[in-house]
Amino acid sequence: MDYKEKYAYWLSSDSVDSKTKEELKALEGNDTEIKERFYNDLQFGTAGLRGILGAGTTRMNIYTVRKASQGLANYIVASGKEAMDRGVAISYDSRHFSPEFAMESACVLAASGIKSYVFDRLHPVAVLSFAVRHLNCFAGIMITASHNPAAYNGYKVYGEDGAQLNVADANKVTEYIQNMDIFEDVKTMPEAEAKASGLVTMIGDEVRGAYLKEVLACRKTPDVSENTAKEIKIVYTPFHGTGLIPVSEALEAAGYTNLYVVEEQAQPDPDFSTVKSPNPEDKEGFALAIELAEKIGADVVLGTDPDADRIGVLVKNADGGYEVLTGNQMGVLLTDYILSAEQEKGTLSSDDFIVKTIVTTDLTKKVADYYGVKMFDVYTGFKFIAEVIKNYDDAGLGKYHFGFEESYGCLPGTYARDKDAIVATLLVCELVAVLKRKGLTLADAMRGIYEKYGYCVERTVSVTMSGLDGMEKMAALMRKVAENPFRKIADADIVAYRNYNEDYRLDYATGKKEPIGYEPSNVLYFELAGGGFFVIRPSGTEPKIKFYYSVPASSMEDGNAKIDILDNAVKEILL
């Protein structure tokens, strides 16, 4: 069907509720809007669904959620009775329709005879990931759009190891979804009947309590709870999301009594009414937190995004103001802290390892080498970090200590297999307490990292390409670069080019072309002369092209100046 036929189908279907039909009827005569809503189906990628809320096949609504859930149900049924009985753990964040989408998913699963365990209120991503493992479920669903604006929601699927569904299994679910009618082939069961039959079970504090024990076990210097933890002042904002209760519980249990929550952002609010975007990468969202921090003299300012899988950190600088730590800086600080603590205990082995993504700072490798542990590079997406944990730690081939992405997500334990801002908050506060014992701050510690390992400056630049032709523009841009890859950007020479989609690395000096050994992915990577990189990739969750820059430098100012030159040259060529 073309978009007009799909639109007519939804208007005529008895399966569509009257409110949705009213929304669709209001579009009559607006061909552009109808096309945008029906020109395609919302794609089930390797992270599930994510889109703008509203009626239509390209939108997040109960019908697209039911269809995705039916595809997952068919996949589980095909996996056998044991998979159906083990069931699915389901959680959700504070966004519009998140509780409704969670229960709709459970009711679709129930109609296919599959058990589900639904959290009785909103919980973070890591608690869902933990619940899948803790309850021995076959799969998990998290209703969230992470840090996207309020108009969005999403649907993430997890495998039995607690990690986001791997590519092969995601493709199987996608095939089921693509081969069904959004109304005729989807089954559901009334909520009351699903609960009465035992196919839907509500869960809550007992699972979060078990999760909290695992989080507290990740502390490296737990004795700070007896002294310094009481001295540091912490300002925290959950950005209207899921983080308030678990963060408060974790910090209280660890002895941090001076926790100041930004009250205006404490309670769940699907409109995120105090910020332009609930993204802890953006300093402007911390305006209220900084105001509170300046008032009380906070040692650190922390924020978690709506599903509490990413953390933002602000540190007090020499002038008494608060500056943002980048995801790379925070990740390197925690990597060095965790490995140094393990080294002091004498528990490090050469088989031990850390994991980062290919667009994350090269300083991480220097830290790993210093402590004599392995480092693995993976694609962007925490499920790839989880795969390394599964292949090495779970198999007894080495101990996992830490994994992180430049986009403010990390995990120091194996109890969950996705980013966990709750444990990150705890470890950042612990590091602040440890440093305070020595009369130092996080800013001092970051300077120490650069003095020890050398300056490396990074920046991620996102270019939005929305609208009907947004995806086409992104694809065309990627083709343009792949067909004529850079050999020089401004005054920076390039020594090698990696095309991950075609699995090769080309050395420009020798002309030697070698396989990289990764699964295909739409990533183009340029190695800069003298160290550093420029990477270009389309976002997997938003209509954006992302440019990643990393350069060695003599100072932050020097690095930022180099990146300014690179970024201006790239944009002049490509945009």
User: What positions carry a catalytic annotation?
Assistant: 146
Beta-bridged to residue 494, according to DSSP, are: 528
| Other Cβ atoms within 10 Å of 29 Cβ, number | 7
| Other Cβ atoms within 10 Å of 22 Cβ, number | 10
Q: Which residues contact 374 (CB under 8 A, 6 or more apart)?
A: 350, 351, 352, 353, 354, 368, 398
CA distance 290 to 284: 10
| Other Cβ atoms within 10 Å of 192 Cβ, number | 10
Amino acid at 101: F
Which residue is associated with the tokens 């978690």? 304
According to DSSP, the β-strands at 88-92 and 139-143 are parallel
CA distance 182 to 44: 14
Name the phi and psi angles at 457, rounded to 5: -115, 135
Which residue is associated with the tokens 């440019």? 547
**Cα-Cα-Cα-Cα dihedral sign, residues 388, 393, 398, 403:** positive
- Give the pair of three-digit tokens for residue 313: 């950190």
Q: What is the largest CA-CA distance in the chain?
A: 71
The angle at the Cα of 82, spanning 81 to 83, to the nearest 5 degrees, equals 90
Nearest C-alpha neighbor of 536 from the set 527, 521, 544, 546? 546
CA distance 445 to 433: 12
Beta-bridged to residue 528, according to DSSP, are: 494
DSSP 398-444: S-EEEEEETTTEEE-SSS-SS--HHHHHHHHHHHHHHHHHTT--HHH
- Report helix angle 470-483 to 556-574, nearest 10: 100
